[in-house]
């Protein structure tokens, strides 16, 4: 088995190796979109580690660490709290907080603007639902038809155990087996007969 795996690996490796000469020029010809970044790595030979002279020339005392999490004097924790509740319109399953898609960035900017206007979380969320509809919220609203999305699971979790309790646990189950017998009665009957047989033999012996 191991040999087979190794064999397959080798064959696929060989096939790939046969392809490499064709691929090499293709990968070199492609240029990165931002040539400046390429300039930063002027010598492509020094792949890792060694910073180039150019990089050392940057004065490191120019500005202090810039904390980007709260630009515009907006409280970070509150911002996250709001941004977490809004969906990224272009991705599946993410909030705008977790996404860097251009649409999400716009929404985040809007959230900051609204916070600077002094609105609270509820007001900001209302602002977005007015503009985009309830779709923009990550949870279904607890009113109208969407209320079902909340009631059904809660009812299921609360009533389910009760239903099981009353229908299954409390009931003494007796099954009619339509004439097909299980092992136990047969075994019991046979033991009884055996007992009788032994008794008879015992009497006969005396």
Partner 1 sequence: MLANYGFFLLYLCFICCFYGFLAAIGAAVWRHRRLYLSSKLAVTSSCVFVVIAAGIMIYSFYQRDYSIAYIAKNSSNDLPSLFTLTAFWSSLEGSHMLWTTLLAIVATIAVWTHSKDNEHVIPYVLAALQAVLAWMFYLAISHSDPFVASLPAPPDGRGMNELLQNGYMAIHPPLLFIGYTCLAVPFAYSIAALLYGDITEGWLKAVRRWTLVAFVFLTAAITLGGRWAYVELGWAGYWAWDPVENSSFMPWLMCTALLHSLLVQDKLGHLKRLSIILGIAGFFMTFVGTFLTRSGVVSSVHSFAESPIGPNYLAYLAGLMLISVSIFAFRAPSILPADTEKVWGVSKESALVMTQFLLLSFAAIIFIGTMFPIVTEALTKQRITVQAPYFNLFAPWIGLGFIVSITMGQLLRYQSAKIPYGKQIIFGSVAVAIPLSFILIYFGDVMSTVKTSSLIAQLVGLYLSSWAISCLCGDLFIKMKDLNFNYGIFFKRNLAYFGGWLAHIGAMIAIIGFMGNYRGIEKRVSLNAGQSFEFYGYRFEMDHGIVVKTEKNATLYTAPMKVYHGSDLIYDLHPAQSKYPTKDQTFNEIGIDGNMWHDIYVVLVDFDKTDGKRVTFQININPTVRFVWLAIMIICAGGLVALFDRYRGNKSRDVVAGEWEVAV
Site for partner 1 in 29-58 (CB under 8 A): 30, 32-34, 36-41, 44, 47-49, 51-52, 54-56, 58
Residue 134 or 197: the one with the smaller Cβ distance to partner 1 is: 134
Scanning residues 102 to 131, which ones bind partner 1 (CB under 8 A)? none
Among 4, 5, 162, 168, binds partner 1 (CB under 8 A): 168
Among 6, 75, 100, 106, binds partner 1 (CB under 8 A): 100
Residue 183 or 201: the one with the smaller Cβ distance to partner 1 is: 183
Among 6, 147, 164, 190, binds partner 1 (CB under 8 A): 164
Residue 165 or 198: the one with the smaller Cβ distance to partner 1 is: 165
Cβ contacts of 44 within 8 Å, gap of 6 or more:
none
> ∠ CA(45), CA(49), CA(54), 5° rounding?
75
107: which DSSP letter? H
Q: For the chain, give the longest Cα–Cα distance.
A: 118
For residue 47, the surrounding DSSP H or E stretch is: none
Told to check if 4 binds partner 1 by CB under 8 A, we report: no
Cβ contacts of 109 within 8 Å, gap of 6 or more:
none
**Distance from C-alpha of 152 to C-alpha of 150, rounded to nearest angstrom:** 6
């Amino acid at each position: 088995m191991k040999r087979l795996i190794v064999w397959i690996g080798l064959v696929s490796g060989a096939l790939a190796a046969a392809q490499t000469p064709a691929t090499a020029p293709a990968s070199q010809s492609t240029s990165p979109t931002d040539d400046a970044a390429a300039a930063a790595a002027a010598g492509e030979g020094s792949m890792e580690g060694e910073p180039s002279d150019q990089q050392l020339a940057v004065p490191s005392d120019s500005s202090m660490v810039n904390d980007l999490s709260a630009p515009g004097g907006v409280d970070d924790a509150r911002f996250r709290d709001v941004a977490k509740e809004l969906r990224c319109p272009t991705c599946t399953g993410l909030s705008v907080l977790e996404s860097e898609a251009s649409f999400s960035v716009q929404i985040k900017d809007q959230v900051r603007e609204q916070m600077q206007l002094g609105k609270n979380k509820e007001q900001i969320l209302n602002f977005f639902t007015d503009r985009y509809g309830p779709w923009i919220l990550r949870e279904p609203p607890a009113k109208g038809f969407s209320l079902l999305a909340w009631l059904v699971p809660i009812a299921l979790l609360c009533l389910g155990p009760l239903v099981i309790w009353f229908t299954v646990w409390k009931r003494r189950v007796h099954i009619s087996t339509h004439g097909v017998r299980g092992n136990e009665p047969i075994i019991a009957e046979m033991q009884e007969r055996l007992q009788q047989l032994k008794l008879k033999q015992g009497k006969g012996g005396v």
